Chains A and B, each alone.
Chain A
Amino acid sequence: MNTDYILCVEHISKSFPGVKALDNVQLNVAKGEVHALMGENGAGKSTLMKILIGMLQPDSGKIIFKGQEVNFSSVHEAIAAGFSMIHQELLPFPELTVAENIFMGREPVHGWLGWINRKKLYADAKALMHKLGVTINVNRLMKTLSIAEMQMVEIAKAIANKAEVIIMDEPTSAISGREVDILFNIIRELKKEGIAIIYISHKMDEIAVIADTISVMRDGKYIGTYPANELDNKQLINLIVGRELDTIFEKRISKSGKPLLEVKKISGEKFSDISFDVSAGEIVGIAGLMGAGRTEIVQAIFGLDKIYAGDISINGKPIKISSPKEAIKNGIGLVSEDRKKTGLVLSSSVKHNITLAALKKFSPGALLNLQREKQVADEQVKKFNIKTPSSNQVVNYLSGGNQQKVVIAKVLLNDPDIIIFDEPTRGIDIGAKTEIYKMMTELAVKGKAIIMVSSELIEVLGLSNRILVVRKGRIAKELKAADATQEMIMEYAME
């Protein structure tokens, strides 16, 4: 065994009823390295991480930490030993201050009564933030922080707990641009301190920037470990999906016709003076930093946010949209940014979700035709390749990629002419991503007008005919995808 490794996972297996989640997996992490763990959703990454942090116990295998075998039977033990995990969805105490959050459960005390030494608490928190190079006032309430700031507090908490291995589960899924840079700077600081970081992400460009080593998992099996600089994107994708992907993005010739949707000088709370048009058969990408107003623009077009001024017309005819109902009636569909928040009724079945926006189709009279509904829902499940035991399955139990396909199936059931995709591939694996890209391309070929908002520049460049770069609520630049590069987009997107 190489003693340079701070953590060695050997021959770990774990089964759940009906599935072998991990099959003889290994992972060797060195001190002070950023070790990217990659794989599709369901590859077993989360299960492995849950074992490391003590949430699950392996069926067999060994975990060797600093040369000693460890068995964590609870998260508490794992944290005490020096492990920490920054969860994808953060779990802060919103009504407490930053400092109280950092030292939750290990507050400095004085006196035999164990009263909290508030002075020391805040001084220590301040020193810690300073060390990390973060400028967040430790007296602020947690709920006033942005997601990126909360993440930094979580990292500070890990340091306060003297973590030697920090697991980060898709830390950039909810932040963008400059915030990612700040996070990466912090990660580089942690490396200097000798802390090992296990970094889970689906974003290739990030991995290329931050990772030293990449381990790939597929279907619960360990595929291999590679130095990050020896793999290019294509090789990495092949390792992750296990098959050759000639091109993720199909080459498509744009049919430039008359504009189907025209937006003229619309303004709302978070954007102003937005004008653009989309033709049938065209994909227009909207890029920009998180919080630049991209989502608000498309939500306003769909009637979810208010428009203060400006006009929208479809096929040259001016229309007024003040609710999603009217937008749907006018042939607009929205695949919303956050499928759990605005896309799906998680407690309902796949079938009921798919038909929710188009129920009128199944009730010519007063009553719903349930047979017809089931038939159509089953057709959609097949057409969109939604992996579910049946269309009666509660949608909450589906994987992220399949949930996203349910949202798309729902929106497309109304056969809209103008389809808005807001972050259509967030948090889903490459297999499902590829399927969604293909769907979008096919829709464009069929003559639909498509607007796509995305933070992933690769997909904006790969799918769009034209790209609108949004900065601070305004369109900073319109680019032809053929001449655009990631650098150009970022240049216009940055403030």
Chain B
Amino acid sequence: MNFAKNYLSKYGILIALLVICIVLSIATPYFFTVQNLVIVLRQVSINGILAIGVTFVIIAGGIDLSLGSVIALTGVIAAGFAHPNTYPVMMPVLVGLSAGVLIGTINGLTITIGKVAPFIVTLGMMTIARGLALVLSNGRPVTNLSPSFNFIGGGDVLHIPVPILLFALVILISSVILKYTRIGRYIYAVGGNENAAKASGIRVNRVKLFAYIMCSGLAALAGIVLASRITTGQPNAGIAYELDAIAAVVIGGTSLLGGRGSIAGTVIGVLIIGVINNGLDLLNVSSYYQQIIKGIIIIGAVLLDRKNARQ
């Protein structure tokens, strides 16, 4: 019975997404064209990769506020290794991802071994990473990047933009991890009841560490994609991106209390935010109003979810 309920609440958001799409298609015919939908997907892929990362952390009962700064820092670092005729394109990618993994490790260890609340650790890391990005770049955008690096964010493979392909790959791998691996199951258990997880022989600290590394690692990937897309390592990039990512996760039905949620839900949440942004742009709604509408949708989605959960 509850299984059906779970599906109903999952379908609830899916239906909401479809309704929004239908309304927008009627309001502005251009919305439902291949060109525009590809644009939407490309636009959401960065927030999508971020949101999937933070889904791991939130299901494990934590939070990560440092994502936006990690994007800027890893973008700047990657750009530093991406000037033409210096290193092969794998270099900036690997260095950027390593920086993300390192930040995730620091976050995770401070939270598990240091026993500091995730909110505080990642709030601190938010300003540390932002500061580092500014220090490393001297506060100036890192430009003059190689064409092969710029291909990551701007190129197409078989007419599909590379960011969309990366997003799809991240969705696939993350879904498999959460659903079909032990560590995935342990993430739910740790978020649902840490004590019970421990008593079941689960090494709770390792599970949390994994979640934070996944989260910062994916933020680094998003940072690389963004730097490549705007052909600049921008130390001021990504401000408040973590909020959009967390909003998508919440809209997707993942509980901020931990233990409950899914990648599918997060992807739908990301699409809802993306489609609305795009649609309101097409309808020439001022960006001031867009913010208000987005806020209403976040709260509305959670209200809907609560109602479903209560029934």
Contact = CB atoms under 8 A, between A and B. Distances in A.
A binds B: yes
Interface of A: 302, 304, 323-325, 327-329, 334, 336, 341-348, 352, 356-357, 359-360, 363, 366-368, 370, 389-390, 392-394, 397, 410
A393 B1 contact: yes
B200 A368 contact: no
A304 B198 contact: yes
B200 A357 contact: yes
Contact of A346 (B181, B185, B193): B193
Nearest to A366: B181
Contacts of B259: 345, 347-348
B60 to A, nearest CB: 12
Interface in B1-44: 1-3
Task: For the complex of A and B, list the 5 residue pairs with the smallest distance between their C-beta atoms, beginning with the closest.
Answer: A345-B192, A357-B200, A347-B259, A325-B201, A328-B201
8 contacts: A325-B202, A343-B199, A346-B193, A347-B188, A348-B189, A368-B182, A368-B185, A410-B200
A342 B199 contact: yes
A359 B202 CA distance: 10
Given A345-B189, A410-B200, A367 B181 contact: yes
Interface in B185-216: 185-186, 188-189, 192-193, 195-203
B288 interface: no
Nearest to A362: B182
Contacts of B203: 323, 325
A345 to B, nearest CB: 4
Given A324-B198, A342-B195, A389-B2, 13 more contacts: A325-B203, A347-B192, A347-B193, A347-B255, A348-B188, A348-B192, A352-B185, A356-B197, A356-B200, A356-B202, A367-B176, A368-B180, A393-B1
A359 B197 CA distance: 12
B169 to A, nearest CB: 17
B2 A392 contact: yes
Contacts of B195: 341-342
B294 interface: no
A397 B6 CA distance: 14
Nearest to B259: A347
A341 B193 CA distance: 8
A390 B196 contact: no
A128 B188 CA distance: 48
Nearest to A411: B200
Nearest to A396: B2
Interface of B is mostly: helix
A392 B199 contact: no
Given A367-B176, A390-B3, A304 B199 contact: yes
Contacts of A329: 201
B260 interface: yes
Assign chain B's interface to a size class.
Answer: 20 to 34
Contacts of B1: 389, 393
A336 B199 contact: yes
B3 A345 contact: no
A447 B182 CA distance: 31
Nearest to A18: B1
Contacts of A343: 196, 199
A447 B259 CA distance: 37
Nearest to B197: A345
A352 B259 CA distance: 12
B207 to A, nearest CB: 12
Contacts of A323: 201, 203
Contacts of A367: 176, 180-181
Contacts of A368: 180-182, 185
Nearest to B198: A324
Contact of B199 (A334, A348, A352, A394): A334
A326 B193 CA distance: 20
A44 B201 CA distance: 38
A392 B195 CA distance: 22
Contact of B181 (A304, A363, A390): A363
Given A304-B198, A324-B199, A393-B3, A356 B176 contact: no
Contacts of B199: 302, 304, 324, 334, 336, 342-343
A42 to B, nearest CB: 17
B3 A392 contact: yes
A302 B195 CA distance: 13
Contact of B185 (A325, A356, A394): A356
Interface string B216-256: 00000000000000000000000000000000000000010
Interface string B147-183: 0000000000000000000000000000010011110
B210 to A, nearest CB: 14
A344 B198 contact: no
B271 to A, nearest CB: 25
Contacts of A336: 199
A302 B199 CA distance: 8
A407 to B, nearest CB: 9
Nearest to A356: B200
A329 B203 CA distance: 13
Contacts of A352: 185, 188-189
Contacts of B198: 304, 324, 342
Contacts of B181: 363, 366-368
A347 B187 CA distance: 12
A357 B3 contact: no
B283 to A, nearest CB: 40
A347 B260 contact: yes
A360 B182 contact: yes
A324 B188 contact: no
B192 A346 contact: yes
Interface in B245-275: 255, 259-260
Contacts of B201: 323-325, 327-329, 357
Contacts of B189: 345, 348, 352, 356
Contacts of B180: 367-368, 370
Nearest to B185: A359
A345 B203 CA distance: 15
B128 to A, nearest CB: 32
Contacts of A345: 188-189, 192-193, 196-197, 259
Interface in B58-97: none
Contacts of A348: 188-189, 192, 259
Contacts of A357: 200-201
Nearest to B193: A345
A347 B70 CA distance: 31
A246 to B, nearest CB: 36
A378 to B, nearest CB: 14
B239 to A, nearest CB: 33
Contacts of A360: 182
A356 B189 CA distance: 8
A359 B200 CA distance: 10
Interface in B117-164: none
A297 B190 CA distance: 25
A324 B197 CA distance: 10
Nearest to A369: B180
Contact of A344 (B182, B185, B193): B193
A337 to B, nearest CB: 10
B79 to A, nearest CB: 34
